[in-house]
Structures are given as C-alpha cells and as structure tokens.
Amino acid sequence: MSDGNSLGLYLRNRRTKLDPASFGFAGGRRRTAGLRREEVAQRANISATWYTWLEQGRGGSPSADVLDRIARALTLTEVEREHLFLLGLGRPPEVRYRGSDPITPRLQRLLDVLTYSPAIVRTATWDVVAWNRAAAAVLTDYGALPPDRRNILRLIFCDPRVRAAQFDWQSIARFVVGAFRIDAARAGADAEVAPLVEELCQASPEFASMWRDNDVRAHGDGTKRLRHPRLGPIALEYSAFAVDGRPDLSLIVYNPATAADRRLVLSLVEARTGADEIAD
C-alpha cells in the first residue's frame, strides 16, 4: 500500500533541494528554496494540479509511469527512485538493465585488495568486466582476451582449455546455463542476452539442448574443482554477492578450499605478481 503523506513529504523534500538555475528556470527571490511545484510538473510532463495533489497526499496512487517521470524530473538516483516507488506504490520499480555502465574504481580496488583470493565481477549476460591478479593467475587471464570473448558461457562451451579444466564439465555447464538464465531474468536483461543465446545455440548443440530444458539454478555459493594446467587438481570455495544498486552485476570471490589448495594458489599468485613486476 502507498502512503500518500510520506510520498508528499518526500517529493517536497527532493524538490526543495534542487537549484532552479541548473534547469533553466529563473532564480531571483523565491518564497521557498528549490523548484516550484509547477516547474516539477512541467519537467515531468504532468499537470501541475495532479502533482500538487500528490505532494498534499490526496492524489491517490500514481502509476509507475508517472513516478518514473517525476524521478527523472527530480533527477533522483537509483536508490532515491526505488524509495519513491516504495512510497508511491508499495513496491520497488521494475528492474532496468544497465549493462553499459562501467564498474567504479572503488569496486576494482576491492578486488585488488583480495590478493590471494581470485575474484571477478560479471554482468547479467555473464561478461567478466573486472578481475584481480589472483583470478588471472588461477582462473583465466581475462586481460589477454578480447573484451567480447570474456564471457563465461563462451568460455565454458567454446574454449577447449576451459572445458578440459572442469572435473565434471556436463554438470558445470548445466549449472552455468541455469544460473545464467535466472541472473538475466532478475536483471531485466532478456533482450540483451538474446543475441548471445542465439550465437551459442548455433555454436554448441550441447548449449542449445540445455537452454531448451529451461532449468534455473541459484549461484549462491559452493565449491569449484579444477584441473589447473600448472597446479593440478585444486578446489575453490566460492560465494556470489550482489553489487548494491547494480542488479546487472555480481561479485564472485573464490577461496582455496584446503590448506594445501591455499599453498598452491599462493605460489602461483606470487609467481605471477613477480613476473608482472619484472615486466613493468
């Protein structure tokens, strides 16, 4: 249920924090700070009367389209837009895919501080868009791949080296397809994944068969076992985390499952770090 009074208070609060001059409105003497109600209504392309009613808590429940217009008019952030929908409709807005936005430097620094834990950030289309040195050493050297090849599904189904590294490729591949399907749906990225699905169906009959099964899986956490070309068999515990405010991104962190696995990973990461420092 929406709360008209809380919605009105929130709208007034956001409105009074905006600078009229930055939107092309005349400044000068105003009785209150910020935009006027009619100016917000003009920017949102709704009637000034209807907007006034919303601020006064007597306009009833606005539609999602109206709230979207108001959110743009008030230049709300994603978090503020979500709060507006919770107040106005009692639910968050539908997910809007934002696959083109890059990760922040802060998120990359978080990856980098995990010195001996391979970590990656992937999109809802399962493109790897960020990684640390440990991931490059233990999992895949994503930096050596063209950006359009840094896709986990393409690697699993189309790269013989990645396929050979899996202990049970069939189970891993089926799990990946099911988790990929649910991630794309959660992020509202069905249209964005359609070309990739078509490509993989053409390239891999196995993918086509698994995709037709319509299985869904939760990625959550678990254990990944690899036949590493330099380390031999290793096991990594992994956990997947949502990136706050970015439904299109997931952070996956891998930790060696045993003390022996940790020693192997440490030796490989340190060797790679030393080689990188010499190259620099």
CATH number for 188: 3.30.450.180
In this structure, is residue 98 part of a structural domain? no
- State the pLDDT at residue 1: 45
C-alpha 4: how far from chain center: 32
CATH number, domain with residue 84 = 1.10.260.40
In this structure, is residue 82 part of a structural domain? yes
CA distances from 136 to 48, 89, 130, 145 (A): 56, 45, 10, 11
Calculate the average pLDDT of the chain.
88
**pLDDT tens by residue, 66-75:** 999 999 999 9
Beta carbons within 8 Å of 43's beta carbon, 6+ residues apart: 23, 35, 72, 73
Beta carbons within 8 Å of 109's beta carbon, 6+ residues apart: none
Decide: 269 and 116 in contact? Cβ < 8 Å. Answer: yes
Check whether residue 220 and residue 267 sit in a common domain.
yes
Q: How sure is the predictor about 27, in pLDDT bands with cuts at 50, 70 and 90?
A: low
Check whether residue 114 and residue 249 sit in a common domain.
yes
In this structure, is residue 94 part of a structural domain? no
Check whether residue 252 and residue 197 sit in a common domain.
yes
In this structure, is residue 100 part of a structural domain? no
**191-227 residues labelled b (16+ CB within 10 A) or e (exposed):** ebbeebbeebeeebebbeebbeeeeeeebeeeebebe
In this structure, is residue 231 part of a structural domain? yes
Check whether residue 140 and residue 235 sit in a common domain.
yes
Dihedral Cα 107, 113, 117, 123, nearest 10 deg: 10
Q: Based on the number of CB atoms within 10 Å of its own CB, is 232 exposed (0-12), middle (13-18) or buried (19 or more)?
A: exposed
Check whether residue 63 and residue 125 sit in a common domain.
no
Check whether residue 250 and residue 161 sit in a common domain.
yes
In this structure, is residue 133 part of a structural domain? yes
Compute the distance between CA of residue 215 and CA of residue 210 in angstroms, rounded to an integer. 8
3-class state of residue 47 by DSSP: coil
In this structure, is residue 54 part of a structural domain? yes
Q: Which domain holds residue 169?
A: 105-279
In this structure, is residue 180 part of a structural domain? yes
Question: Over the Cα atoms of the chain, what is R_g?
Answer: 24
Q: How sure is the predictor about 155, in pLDDT bands with cuts at 50, 70 and 90?
A: very high
Q: How sure is the predictor about 2, in pLDDT bands with cuts at 50, 70 and 90?
A: low
Is beta strand 232-243 parallel, antiparallel or unpaired with respect to 128-131? unpaired
Check whether residue 39 and residue 127 sit in a common domain.
no
The total of other beta-carbon atoms located within 10 Å of residue 229's CB is 9
Q: How many domains does the chain have?
A: 2
β-bridge mates for residue 123, sequence order: 249
**pLDDT tens by residue, 243-267:** 877 778 899 999 999 999 999 999 9
Check whether residue 15 and residue 151 sit in a common domain.
no
The total of other beta-carbon atoms located within 10 Å of residue 246's CB is 20
Q: What is the mean pLDDT of residues 6-26?
A: 89
Domain boundary among 89, 121, 137: 89
- State the pLDDT at residue 71: 93
